[in-house]
Amino acid sequence: MNSILLIRISLRSIAAHKWRSILTILGIVIGIATIISTLAIGQGVARKQQQKFESMGRNFIAIEADNFMTQGQVKSNQRKKQVLFTPEDCTYLKNQCDKITYISPQVNNKIIISNKDHHLETSVQCGNQDLLTILDKTIEQGTCFSKEQAELGELVIVLGHKAAQVLFPLENALERLVTIAKNKYRVIGILTHQTEFFGAANPDLEVYIPLKTAQRKMGDWCSNKFYCMALSITQKSEMQQASSEITALLRIRRAIEPEDLNNFLIHDLEAIAKAAAEAIGMLNLFIIFIASISLLIAAVGIMNIMLVSVTERTREIGIRMALGAPRNIILRQFLFEAITLTMLGGIGGVLVGIGISHLIGYLLGWMIIITPASVIGAFITTTLIGLFFGYYPATKAANLDPIIALAER
C-alpha cells in the first residue's frame, strides 16, 4: 500500500469528521499564522531600519561629552564634573585623526519659528558648514551655509522639506525671511524629503542654522561650549578603528587617569543599528515563544483527537487486521492522518498569516517581508508536530490485539 493511497485514505477519514477536524487544526492555524505574521512584520521593520541607517551613511559618529553608562561605576571617590566640548576639541580631533573627513559641533533645541501667521515649533540643529554633510542631508533647493557664513554667524537658515511647506504653504520658501526670537533669518536652502525614522521625530520638520549664529542670537541656551559632536569617517570599514583612535585622543586631551572610565561616549551608527536590530529581534523571539506555546497546546489537542479516533475506530482496526493489514500499515495510516491534520493546519496558518501580514501592512503602512524560509519552516514544524504527537496514538492502534479489537462494539 503506497503513501499516496494512505494520504487519500487520511483525507477521506478527515473529511468524514469535518467539523471535528477543523476545530482540531484551528490551534495549529492560529499558532502558525501568528509566527508567520510576526516574522513578516519583524523582518519588514528590520529591513526598513536597515535601509534608513544605510541612507544616513554608516560612516557617522556622534560623541557625547558625558557618559551615562558610567553612572554608579566611577572608580575615584569624586564625581567628575561634566566637561563640555569646545570648538578647539573639534580642530584637535580633525588634526590628530586622519580618518575623520568632517567634524562639527551639534547642538539642538526646541524653538518657535514663524512666517507672519504661520508658526512652527520644531527642533533647530546648530553646527558648522559641514554638519549637513555629516548627517547625510541633501539640498533640494539653494545651498547649505558657507564656511564664512558659519564663522561670522550670519542670520541664515536651511529648512527641512516639511518645515518649508508649513511656513510657506503657498509659495517657495527660498530667499524668504523667517523669524526666530524676533530675529529675521534668510532661508538659503531647503532639504529633500526624507523617510521617517522608526519611532523618531519627523526629520523633515528640522531646521539648521550655524552654531555661531545661535551663540550670538540665542545665548540663553547656546554658548561656546557644547555637549555633542558629529563627525564622518572616510571609510566605512575604518569605523571601528576610528572609534578607538578618537577614544584614545579624547582620553589624553581630557586627562583621564588609566583606571578611570571614559567621561564621554562615542556612538557609531553601526552600533546603534545593531542594537536596534537586536531589540527588534528580541521582541520577535518573545512573540514567537508565545506563539509556540499556542502551537504546543494545539499539538496536544491533535494527540488527544487521534487517541479518541483510535478508540472510536477500534473495531475498524480489528477488521483491517483480520483482513491481513500489516501493523506498519495501521501505524502509517494513523500517523499520516495526524500529519495530514497538522499540515492542513500549517497550510491554513501560512495563508492566514500572509493575509494578516498584508492587512497590517496595508492598514499601518508597514513594510512586510514574507521569506520562503518562514513558510518552509512552518511546514517542517507542522509535519514534525504531526509525526511527534501522532506517533503514540498510531502505535496504540497498531499494537491492538485483533481479537479484542474485533470484540469492540
Partner 1 sequence: MTHIITQNLAKTYLTNHELHPILKGISLTIAAGEFVAITGPSGSGKSTLMHILGCLDRQTSGEYFLDGQNIGTATNEELTHIRNKKVGFIFQKFNLLTNLTALKNTALPQLYAGIDEQTAEKNAYELLSSLGLKDRIHHFPYQLSGGQQQRVAIARALINKPSLILADEPTGNLDSESGKTILGLLKELNTTYQVTMIIVTHEQAIANQTSRIIQLKDGILVH
The residues binding partner 1 (CB under 8 A) are: 1, 5, 12-13, 16, 315-316, 319-327, 329, 402-403, 406
What is the closest distance, in whole angstroms, from the C-beta atom of residue 319 to partner 1 in the complex?
5
The span from the CA of 190 to the CA of 161, in Å, is 6
Torsions phi, psi for 75 (to 5 deg): -85, -40
Distances (CA, A) of 254 to 98, 150, 225, 261, 263: 20, 27, 15, 12, 8
End-to-end CA gap in the chain: 27
Could you give the CA distance from residue 137 to residue 48 in angstroms, rounded to a whole number? 18
Number of residues assigned to the chain: 409
* Amino acid letter, 254: R
- Looking at the Cβ atoms of 112 and 404, the one nearer to partner 1 is 404
Cell triple for 20: 471535528
> Could you tell me which residues are beta bridge partners of residue 390?
none
Question: If you search the block for the grid coordinates 504546543, which residue do you land on?
Answer: 296
Task: Report which of 269, 142, 123 is spatially closest to residue 203, judged by C-alpha positions.
Answer: 123
The phi-psi region of residue 211 (left if phi > 0; otherwise alpha if psi is between -120 and 50; otherwise beta) is alpha
Name the phi and psi angles at 95, rounded to 5: -75, -35
8 A C-beta contact, residue 34 and residue 287: yes
Cell reading at 248 = 584614545
Nearer to partner 1 by C-beta: 330 or 378? 330
Write down the least CB distance from residue 53 to partner 1, Å.
Answer: 60
Contact of 341 with 386, CB cutoff 8 Å: yes
Q: Which is nearer to partner 1, 199 or 324 (CB)?
A: 324
CB nearer partner 1, residue 212 or residue 332: 332
Pair type for strands 207-210 and 118-127: parallel
Angle of helix 327-364 relative to helix 269-312, nearest 10 degrees, comes to 140
Smallest distance, partner 1 to C-beta of residue 13, A: 7
- Residue number with CB closer to partner 1 (14 or 303): 14
Nearer to partner 1, 329 or 367 (CB): 329
| Residue 2 Cβ vs partner 1, minimum distance, rounded to whole Å | 8
Minimal distance, residue 341 CB to partner 1, in Å: 17
Under 8 Å CB-to-CB from 358, ≥6 apart: which residues? 368
The closest alpha carbon to 389, from 348, 329, 342, belongs to 342
Give the shortest CB-310-to-partner 1 separation in angstroms: 15
Q: How far is the CB of 323 from partner 1 (least distance, A)?
A: 5
Report the residue number, 111 or 319, with the smaller CB distance to partner 1. 319
- Beta carbon of residue 15, minimum distance to partner 1 (angstroms, whole number): 9
Our CB check for partner 1 shows the closer of 174 and 329 to be 329
- Reduced to 3 states, what is the DSSP secondary structure of residue 57? coil
Least distance (Å) between residue 383 CB and partner 1: 25
Comparing CB distances to partner 1, the nearer of 212 and 320 is 320
> Would you say 57 or 402 has its CB closer to partner 1?
402
Helix, strand or coil for residue 114? strand
CB of 406 to partner 1, least distance (A): 8
